[in-house]
Chain A
Amino acid sequence: MLGYILRRTLYAIPILVGINLLTFALFFLVNTPDDMARLQLGVKRVTPEAIAKWKAERGYDRPLLWNAPAAGTKKFTDTIFFDKSVKLFALDFGRAEDNRDIFNEIRTRMGPSLALAVPVFLVGLMVNITFALGMAFFRATYLDLWGVVLCVAMMSISSLFYIIGGQYLISKLWHLVPISGYEGGVDAAKFLVLPVLIGVIGAFGSSTRFYRTLFLEEMGKDYVRTARAKGLAESVVMFRHVLKNALIPILTGVVVVIPTLFLGSLITESFFGIPGLGSYTIDAIQAQDFAVVRSMVFIGSVLYIVGLLLTDISYTLVDPRVRLA
């Protein structure tokens, strides 16, 4: 089992390198730093001096991959590729356009992101599983039918409308919670109630419907028929056998998103003014702050790969066939 996990970990390295190369190509080869400078400086008739200054301030004035005139290892290290891409591995992200250290920014913004994402994840998981199990229990009745109809209808509404509708109804009409903003400590709760609620509702339709099919699939298996045949009550069959076994694919399926919870939610955070990583990313995209976007792409991918690793590990925990392989 240890060997298996080690193998999977080693497999992650070339993927990280690939992501690094891809982002480098995307940000520096598709458009040259001169193009970026022109876009950032904004004016059509921008002087070459201004471009040179912009590039020098951000360290984009070096050669891309190979610095021929430099001496020794500097040939490789004094390049854009080394400075902007290789250093990502050491979590050295450089500075944003407002000259703040990106790594520091990310560290302070992780808290609010987690404060929103973790409750959404946990509450959502519980609500979805409960409703899915209920629908599977009442399968082929009107309750089940209308449940599915509700899920499909909820899937068809853009997440933007949930946020706008929720803000309008609960904050503006009923004045229950503030419309947006954030404070540290216990006060955060009153700002987080609405975003969490909306996050849960927004993901309800598709997840619940998916879990329902998982439950139904599980209920069609032979051991369930055996359990019924030996005279177990339907509720015992559901809770003791079906729920336990169907939880395996559900839980191993969600393991992959756990690390990415750090990234927060792009849309919700920016709508509610929560100073997390999601709103940081959105602001960077809108301000065309390439350094921040590049760093977030890298961090996001690292977290996703960690999620894949955790998924593999969770498989070994629940499935002996993988453990023994």
Chain B
Amino acid sequence: MPVVLATDFLVWLLVLAVASFAWYSRRRAHLAAPWARVFRSRTAVASAVVLACYILVGLLDSLHYRPALPARDAGAPVAYSVEARSLLDLGLAPLRERFEKTYSAPLATRLFQREQVELPDGRTARDFPRLRHGGAHLEAEADWGKDVVLRALAGLAAAFALWSVVLICARRALVRRWPNVPWGAAAAALGAILALAGPAAMLADGFHVLGTNQVGQDVLYQALKSIRTSLVIGTVTTLVLLPLGIMAGIAAGYFRGWVDDVIQYLYTTLNSIPGVLLIAAFVLMLQVFLDNHGDWFPTTAQRADMRLLGLCAILGLTSWTGLARLLRGEALKLSELEYIQAAHAFGVSHARILARHILPNVAHIVIITLVLDFSGLVLAEAVLSYVGVGVDPSTTSFGTMINAARLEMAREPMVWWSLAAAFVFMFALVLAANLFADAVRDGFDPRVRV
């Protein structure tokens, strides 16, 4: 039975919006030309490929359903589990279901902690017990090295085969159509991703590639699940930020007078409160609200989802001021120009001037701000979760992963794999977003055009 969480709906709404915007700008030179410029940069194309992989994982994780429970007798109506799963969970079912007892290192065959184990001759001793799933297929543990290498090589071979197929298909479909795009960079980025994903997939079949966490959950699975949370925070926030920022900024710059005064007052006031404190105050209140209306949400997943959505709304409410200030300045400048004065003289209505003349001319600022904000929001999530005002503790996110791993810093030897996984996945996402944002800014900013 399909379930639509609130954030799922918004994510797909965003996908629809982006797709229709792409369709709209295809035939309009003032929007299509900057994008063409963006995709002429090699770093932009490579980081776009990386981002696309992240988005694919995030979207797969945004299609939820409630699995049917096994029927007790033949005639009974089908009952559904209360737990919502996503398509990604379905694909990663082996990873999700293979729980160990507690920590285990990446690719380990034994647990990280000593336990009482029963020896074959009946005596007990303290030893590292074998894992339930990691390396359970091995006949003898001495085969471990050979098995890992073989699996990694098989994964590489499969990745290479897939890469070649994609390249051959892409050559026919894409390269001829857009010859100016540096496809070599895209191929290299895709190759790098596949070279990592292939062996990981092969090894994940028999081992915990990135180890397990305190409750024995696979860290790779956690990291993949965190991607959706990051993407939701980075993108759904814009649904709140955009309307507020655009309306306030343009109204202030275009109408001036008391409208400008009121809006400037509003954003100076909001801006004066230190960001984290304002967000913390909002989130504390959201927490009180959710706690007192627990009966509104039938499942914990829905409650956690509402908290995530609330966090996005709060981040949007507290960060529209930057965009509004930029747009106000631009609208002030534009409303002085001759063609807008002429439109006034012809008696064109305000609404029409705003829609036809002002809005299209500030579109580049909006796009640049959106892309630049994304990486900041992803980074903010980790910090907020650490402070305790981030996502619900039951939601998997990079912030909650770091937070849980941080407590194990003092352990000797250190449990490093959760941190490392969160670091690598987050670094790749934010770096790709930053590089892409730079290219977008260079492509859209008229000042850079020489």
Residues on the B chain within 8 Å of A15, using CB: 265, 268-269, 272
- Is there an interface contact between A26 and B282, defined as CB atoms closer than 8 Å? yes
Can you list the 7 inter-chain pairs with the closest CB atoms, starting with the nearest?
A18-B269, A300-B274, A156-B431, A156-B430, A31-B288, A301-B272, A286-B388
Which parts of B395-425 form the interface with A (CB within 8 Å)?
398, 402, 406, 409, 414, 419, 423
With A and B bound together, what is the CA distance between A30 and B289 in angstroms? 8
CA A296 – CA B276 in complex, angstroms? 11
Known A19-B269, A155-B434, A156-B431: A281·B277 in contact at CB below 8 Å: yes
- What is the bound-complex CA distance between A157 and B270, given in angstroms? 28
Q: Is A158 an interface residue (CB 8 A)?
A: yes
Segment touching B, from A90-98, A161-169, A231-239, A315-323: A161-169
Q: Is A66 an interface residue (CB 8 A)?
A: no
| Chain A contacts with B in 263-297, Cβ cutoff 8 A | 263, 266-267, 281-282, 285-286, 288, 290, 293-294, 296-297
Instruction: Report if B435 contacts A (CB, 8 A).
Output: yes
Q: Which of B292, B426, B427 contacts A35 (CB 8 A)?
A: B292
Contact with B along A122-160 (1 / 0, CB 8 A): 000000000000000000000000000000110111111
Q: How far is the CA of A305 from the CA of B387 in the complex (A)?
A: 25
A267 to B399, CA, bound (A): 13
B212 CB, min distance to chain A CBs, angstroms: 20
22 contacts between A and B (CB under 8 A): A15-B272, A18-B265, A30-B285, A35-B291, A38-B291, A39-B292, A152-B435, A156-B434, A157-B423, A158-B383, A159-B383, A161-B423, A168-B409, A263-B274, A266-B276, A266-B387, A285-B387, A290-B284, A293-B277, A294-B281, A297-B274, A300-B277
Instruction: Return the chain A residue nearest B379 by Cβ.
Output: A158
Q: Does A245 touch B at the CB level, under 8 Å? A: no
Whether B288 contacts A36 by the Cβ 8 Å rule is yes
A 248-268 to B, binary, CB cutoff 8 A, 1 in contact else 0: 000000000000100100110
Which among A152, A168, A260, A297 is the interface contact of B431 at CB below 8 angstroms? A152
The smallest C-beta distance from B413 to any residue of chain A, in angstroms, reads 11
Contact A304 B274 (CB under 8 A): yes
Q: Which residues of B contact A304 (CB under 8 A)?
A: 271-274
In angstroms, Cα B285 to Cα A152, docked, is 36
Question: Using a CB–CB distance below 8 Å, which chain B residues touch chain A?
Answer: 265-266, 268-274, 276-278, 280-282, 284-285, 287-289, 291-292, 375, 379, 382-383, 386-389, 398, 402, 406, 409, 414, 419, 423, 426-427, 430-431, 434-435, 438
Please indicate the chain B residues that have their CB under 8 angstroms from the CB of A39 in the complex. Answer: 287-288, 291-292
| A156 and B280 contacting across the interface, CB-CB below 8 Å | no
Q: Could you tell me if B292 and A285 are in contact, using CB atoms closer than 8 angstroms? A: no
Contact pick for A293, options B271, B280, B423, B426, CB 8 Å: B280
In whole Å, how far is A8's beta carbon from the nearest beta carbon of chain B? Answer: 12
Q: Could you tell me if B431 and A285 are in contact, using CB atoms closer than 8 angstroms?
A: no
Give Cα distance in the complex from A109 to B416, angstroms.
33
List the B side residues contacting A4 at CB < 8 Å: none
Q: Please measure, in the bound complex, the distance between the C-alpha atom of A172 and the C-alpha atom of B412, giving whole angstroms.
A: 10
Count of A-B contacts judged by CB separation below 8 Å: 126
Q: CA of A285 to CA of B288 in the docked complex: distance in angstroms?
A: 13
Please give the residue numbers on chain A whose beta carbons come within 8 Å of chain B beta carbons, in ascending order. Answer: 14-15, 18-19, 22-23, 26-27, 30-31, 35-36, 38-39, 152-153, 155-161, 164, 167-168, 172, 260, 263, 266-267, 281-282, 285-286, 288, 290, 293-294, 296-297, 300-301, 304-305, 308
A145-B375 Cα distance, complex, nearest whole Å: 21
CB of B419 within 8 A of CB of A293, answer no
Tell me the minimal C-beta distance from B357 to chain A in angstroms: 29
- The answer to whether A26 touches B265, judged by C-beta atoms less than 8 angstroms apart, is no
A164 CA to B386 CA in the complex, in Å?
12
| Pairwise interchain contact A285-B284, C-beta atoms closer than 8 A | yes
Known: A18-B265, A19-B273, A266-B276. A38 touches B383 (CB 8 A): no
Known: A160-B386, A301-B274. A31 touches B281 (CB 8 A): no
Are A297 and B281 within 8 A (Cβ)? yes
Selected from B276, B281, B434, the residue in CB contact (under 8 A) with A26 is: B281
Q: Across the interface, name the chain A residue whose C-beta is closest to B437.
A: A152
Taking a contact as CB atoms under 8 Å apart, the answer to whether A152 and B387 are in contact is: no
Smallest beta-carbon distance B60→chain A, Å: 24
In the complex, besides A19-B272, A30-B289, A36-B288, 16 extra interface pairs with C-beta distance below 8 angstroms are A15-B268, A15-B269, A31-B292, A153-B431, A155-B430, A156-B431, A158-B398, A160-B386, A160-B402, A160-B406, A161-B402, A164-B409, A168-B414, A288-B284, A290-B284, A300-B273
Say how far A254's CB is from chain B's closest CB, in angstroms: 16
- CB pair B291–A297 under 8 Å, yes or no, is no
Q: Which of B266, B273, B383, B438 contacts A160 (CB 8 A)?
A: B383
Are the CB atoms of A27 and B273 closer together than 8 Å? Answer: no
Alpha-carbon separation in the docked complex, A33 to B255 (Å): 41
In the complex, the chain A residue whose C-beta lies closest to that of B386 is A160
